[in-house]
Amino acid sequence: MEGKQNYLAEEELGTLMRKYSVPCIISLLVGALYNIVDQIFIANADYLGSYGNAANTVVFPLTVIALAVAVCIGDGCCSMVSALLGEGRADKARRSFGNAIVLSLASGTVITAVYLIFGDGLVTLFGGRINAETFALSKEYFFWIALGIPFYMFGQAMNPVIRADGSPRFAMASTLAGAVINIILDPIFIFVFRMGMAGAAIATVIGQIATAALAVWYLFRLKSVRLDCGSFALKRKTVGRIISLGLCSFLSQISLVAAMAAINNMIRKYGALDPVFGLAEYAQIPMAVVGIVMKFFQIVISVVVGMSAGCIPIVGFNMGARRFDRVKGLFTRLLVCEAIVGAAALIIVEVFPSALINIFGAANESAYYTEFAVKAFRVYLCMIVFACVNKATFIFLQAMGKALESTLLSMVREIVFGVGFALVLPMLLGLDGVLWSMPVSDALTAVISAVIIARTYTNLNKKVLTF
């Protein structure tokens, strides 16, 4: 066991980042493709168009709720197992693996039941009643997506668990397999069989089942421990530690849901007051467009989160081994890389917004669609560099075991600023206020992040951190 793990405390940091982060980035990018591919094909189907795109935007936060629970379990287990292995406590690591498996299966079943029972109300809560066509398509899409939630959550929760076991490439491959299946089936179901939103959702669910099946196969072949029946007996202390370490991941996702709910409802409210989007035939455009912008942001943030999450096993092991010099060096490399990713994304959204929106069916829509989309890309994502650095800071603190600081910072960004400005700025700026809510939130959060980053460096230099 020691021989398999010691390289985390000895290998060159750049090499470790590449080994762990690249597969994680690819895994998350591929995971992001599930929803994005659906939206691209939906947007280019002439019988769905912006109505289908708006419906996809309505349902998206509901999939993020499931993802929030899954990453809480998976990232929490990943952080816990990495530290335990660094301390040489394989018996407790085994228990963590087993408890995470049980938690993901149970929570997935419960969420599916809730979604199926309260489907109409949930779709309404996230802005689905913007017009009758959008509401009908949202319900159709949501029903099938809800059926796949247990498979989706299991696959997403096990992804970081598999990485913690030292197999980031398999974690990547399992997610990639599901996405490829989705990409193949989407055009068949949407364009050939003309199954509409149901076809897009069913293609997604089939891909998720494939990813979950591969995760099950791997769990019988764990490298660091061997699971037994006792591993699956839930222990309050183990469950509590998993949840506490994964709480930042959960809150960063669930608070995003709160922000999306606020944004969707502000779009519906203030779009109705707009001289163009207040007309029934154009009412769905702002919601469809903001959803598209969020999907591009999801691609960028997948790179950012993948880079940071890939560092979790490395940070956890070195914290357990008390190699604070390596933790500091890794933090510096990560912040620089995340800023570079944000700068590249900023250039794309500011220089090529028309090209981006053309991917999502602009040719089939009115000029208002493209005009609003160009403005949305340029305004909504103008502070994306700060967004990338902020996210890296949240996750790195979590990996260091600083759950409270990580959670508070994430909550300030997503709830206090994200929801607050989404509700307040439209009162002052109308529909444009929705677009400005994100950059304002990211800029203010960056100020707080800078203080925490400086304090973290100071503590690492003093070697006063504890896990």
| Number of C-beta neighbours around residue 181 at 10 A | 18
Q: What is the DSSP letter of 44?
A: T
Beta-sheet strands, E only, within 304-361: none
In the predicted model, what is the mean pLDDT of residues 312-337? Answer: 87
Question: Count of domains in the chain?
Answer: 1
pLDDT at 298: 84
Inter-residue contact 245 to 400 (CB < 8 Å): no
User: Dihedral, CA atoms, 293, 294, 298, 299, nearest 10 degrees?
Assistant: -10
Count the alpha carbons within 13 Å of 54 in the hemisphere toward its beta carbon: 28
pLDDT band at 28 (very low <50, low <70, confident <90, very high): confident
In the predicted model, what is the mean pLDDT of residues 333-349? Answer: 96
Q: Is residue 79 part of a domain?
A: yes
For residue 278, give Cα distances in angstroms to 135, 264, 274, 376.
17, 15, 5, 18
pLDDT at 423: 95
CB within 8 Å of 438: residues ≥ 6 apart = 380, 381, 383, 387, 418
pLDDT at 4: 46
Distance (Å, whole) CA 229 – CA 201: 35
pLDDT at 445: 96
Q: Is residue 9 part of a domain?
A: no
Which range among 17-21, 361-365, 370-374, 460-464 shows the weakest confidence by mean pLDDT? Answer: 460-464
Q: Is residue 107 part of a domain?
A: yes
Indicate whether 141 pLDDT > 90.
Answer: yes
Which range among 314-318, 368-372, 440-444 shows the weakest confidence by mean pLDDT? Answer: 314-318
Q: Is residue 343 part of a domain?
A: yes
Distance (Å, whole) CA 96 – CA 84: 9
Percent of the chain, pLDDT > 90? 59
Indicate whether 169 pLDDT > 50.
Answer: yes
Distance (Å, whole) CA 386 – CA 360: 26
Identify the sign of the CA torsion 255, 336, 298, 346: positive
Give the tens place of pLDDT for each residue, 420-450. 999 999 999 999 999 999 999 999 999 999 9
Q: What is the 3-state secondary structure (H, E, C) of 194-242?
A: CCHHHHHHHHHHHHHHHHHHHHHHHHCCCCCCCCCHHHHCCCHHHHHHH
Alpha helices by DSSP H, 44-194: 49-86, 90-117, 119-125, 132-147, 149-164, 168-187
**What global pTM score does this model have?**
0.81
Q: Which amino acid type is present at position 342?
A: G
Domain that holds residue 350: 14-462
Q: Is residue 7 part of a domain?
A: no
Residue in the block written with tokens 């800029």:
443
For residue 220, give Cα distances in angstroms to 77, 207, 214, 243.
17, 21, 10, 24
For residue 90, give Cα distances in angstroms to 6, 8, 94, 171, 247.
14, 16, 6, 21, 23
Q: Is residue 8 part of a domain?
A: no
Q: Is residue 196 part of a domain?
A: yes
In the predicted model, what is the mean pLDDT of residues 392-419? Answer: 84
Give the tens place of pLDDT for each residue, 238-296. 999 999 888 777 876 787 788 889 999 999 999 999 999 999 889 999 999 999 998 89
Long-range contacts of 7-10 (CB under 8 A, 24+ apart): 8/86, 8/313, 8/314, 8/317, 8/318, 9/86, 9/317, 9/318, 9/321, 9/323, 9/326
pLDDT band at 340 (very low <50, low <70, confident <90, very high): very high
Inter-residue contact 125 to 261 (CB < 8 Å): yes
Distance (Å, whole) CA 98 – CA 411: 29
pLDDT at 464: 53
Tokens read off for 117: 């029972």
Distance (Å, whole) CA 210 – CA 179: 9
In the predicted model, what is the mean pLDDT of residues 45-74? Answer: 92
Indicate whether 467 pLDDT > 50.
Answer: no
Distance (Å, whole) CA 450 – CA 89: 35
| Number of C-beta neighbours around residue 240 at 10 A | 11
pLDDT at 126: 93
Q: Is residue 6 part of a domain?
A: no
